[in-house]
Amino acid sequence: MNRTAREGSRPQTEPATTGAHPQARSERVVAVVVTYNREQLLADCLDGLAAQDRRPDAVVVIDNASTDRSGAVADGHPLGADVVHLRRNVGGAGGFAAGIARALVRHDADWVWVMDDDTVPRPGALSALLEALSRSPVRLSVLSSRAVWTDGREHPMNRSRTRLGASAQEKADAARAGGRPIRTASYVSALLNGEDVRRLGLPYADYFIWSDDFEHTGRLLRRGRGIHVPASVVEHRTARFDNAQANPGSRFYYDVRNRLWALLRTDSFTVPERILHGGRTALGWAGMLLRHRGDLLGVGLRGLLAALRRGPRPSATVLAADGEAAADVRAIERAAAR
């Protein structure tokens, strides 16, 4: 660890439904980056954080037991991040659970700015999020950035879902802040209200990859308000310009298991939303299986059986090999009564 953490915690209060944040720029923002074996991309990500015209107040990097120099890059970067080297790879979901918990427990974050290691924020990305927060006439739980690929096109992997059935007032409130109302967001770049995470809990570490952000932001936004802020721009430097599910291979297991976990084993979505998302997901899976001539069928069936067999384990159990990270997670989950 390269930075001394702040001590202290905040009271667990119910969020107000109205009220902007006129002091948004002075609130404590902690960025959380999860990395695994992408040393050059991580360096670019940290460079992007260092170049922000409003820097985060602290940065937490979760090194997911990388076998390349990613951990050393994080340790040596002039940004001076608080680097946590996990003993084993717990995936993006486990890394975000550990990192968000650390930001709240050890850095007393008001807001947690989460991103992948292949996210490179442009210099005004954070200030645009905070400007939208300060302009919002209502209390916000999640703000998302516009993710573009290396050529500037909007990335198809990271489009925040618009809140269906949003009222005219909700749309007007979002427009006043410079955005649109959303129902879920991608962790490629999302600003999370720390108070709400303390109250509602962390993402499930057991998801490993995929749908952890869908479920967690869905939980935060079931009763909270969120907006997509197009003025906040980040580059998502994936190898290809397409959706992650275009050809998932063995990872299709996580796609099936985790989406079913999110829709069937949580209360993050209403019944109509579960039906809608479930129907769209099933159609997407059917098209994928047709395109790949059934090569993914066995993988998908394993995911289905795993989802039916049990739900996700407690995140502290998943992170048990890393006692400090597990303790941070346990502190947040206990406070949230999860």
**CATH number of residue 88's parent domain:** 3.90.550.60
Instruction: Please name which of 286, 317, 160, 310 lies closest in space to residue 229, comparing C-alpha atoms.
Output: 160
Q: Supply the pLDDT for residue 8.
A: 38
The single residue listed with the structure tokens 């721009």 is 233
| Domain annotation covers residue 295 | no
Q: What end-to-end distance do the CA atoms of the chain give, in Å?
A: 28
Number of domains in the chain: 1
Q: Would you give per-residue pLDDT tens digits along the chain (338 residues)?
A: 443 333 333 333 344 444 555 456 679 999 999 999 999 999 999 999 999 999 999 999 999 999 999 999 999 999 999 999 999 999 999 999 999 999 999 999 999 999 999 999 999 999 999 999 999 999 999 999 999 999 889 888 777 788 988 999 999 999 999 999 999 999 999 999 999 999 999 999 999 999 999 999 999 999 999 999 999 999 999 888 776 556 688 899 999 999 999 999 999 999 999 999 999 999 988 888 888 766 788 999 999 999 999 999 999 999 999 999 999 999 999 999 99
- Using CA atoms, how far residue 332 sits from 104, 273, 324, in Å, is 8, 27, 13
Rg (CA), the chain: 19
| Domain annotation covers residue 319 | yes
Tokens of 307: 């989802």
Other beta carbons less than 10 A from residue 148's beta carbon: 17
| Domain annotation covers residue 50 | yes
Domain around 63 = 24-243+311-335
Q: Are 30 and 58 in contact (CB under 8 A)?
A: yes
Q: Are 154 and 148 in contact (CB under 8 A)?
A: yes
| Domain annotation covers residue 281 | no
| Domain annotation covers residue 172 | yes
- Using CA atoms, how far residue 330 sits from 70, 198, 252, 312, 337, in Å, is 27, 11, 29, 15, 10
| Domain annotation covers residue 124 | yes
Q: Which helix (H) or strand (E) holds 332?
A: helix 323-335
| Domain annotation covers residue 305 | no
**C-alpha–C-alpha distance, residues 113 and 131, integer Å:** 14
What's the pTM? 0.90
| Domain annotation covers residue 233 | yes
**C-alpha–C-alpha distance, residues 20 and 317, integer Å:** 38
